[in-house]
Amino acid sequence: MGMTGIVKPMGLLACRVKRSLPIASLVCAAVGPCLLSGCALTVVSAVDAAGSVVQAGMSIASNHSSPTFVNGDQTSLHTVCIEWNSLVPVGDFVPALQYALHKRGVESTVYGPGNSPPNCEATLVYSAATDWGHRTFTDGYTEYLSAINLTLFKHGKIVVAASYETSGAKLDRFASTTTKVTALINKMVVATSD
For residues 154-163, average pLDDT: 95
- In tens, the pLDDT along 72-86 reads 999 999 999 999 999
pTM: 0.65
Residue 36 vs residues 25, 27, 46, 170: alpha-carbon distances, Å: 16, 14, 17, 41
Residue 174, judged by CB atoms within 10 A of its CB (0-12, 13-18, 19+), counts as: buried
What lies within 8 Å, CB to CB, of 132 at 6+ separation is: 141, 142, 143, 144
- Would you state the pLDDT for residue 69? 87
- In tens, the pLDDT along 25-35 reads 555 555 555 55
Query: Per-residue confidence at 12, pLDDT binned at 50, 70, 90?
Result: very low
- Would you state the pLDDT for residue 77? 92
Distance, CA of 17 to CA of 26 (rounded, Å)? 14
Query: Per-residue confidence at 133, pLDDT binned at 50, 70, 90?
Result: confident
Q: CATH topology for 69-188? A: Double Stranded RNA Binding Domain (3.30.160)
> Where, residue-wise, is CATH 3.30.160 in the chain?
69-188
Distance, CA of 95 to CA of 175 (rounded, Å)? 16
How far, in whole angstroms, is CA 178 from its chain's centroid? Answer: 14
Q: What is the largest CA-CA distance in the chain?
A: 116
Are the C-beta atoms of residues 171 and 59 closer than 8 Å to each other?
A: no
What lies within 8 Å, CB to CB, of 92 at 6+ separation is: 177, 178
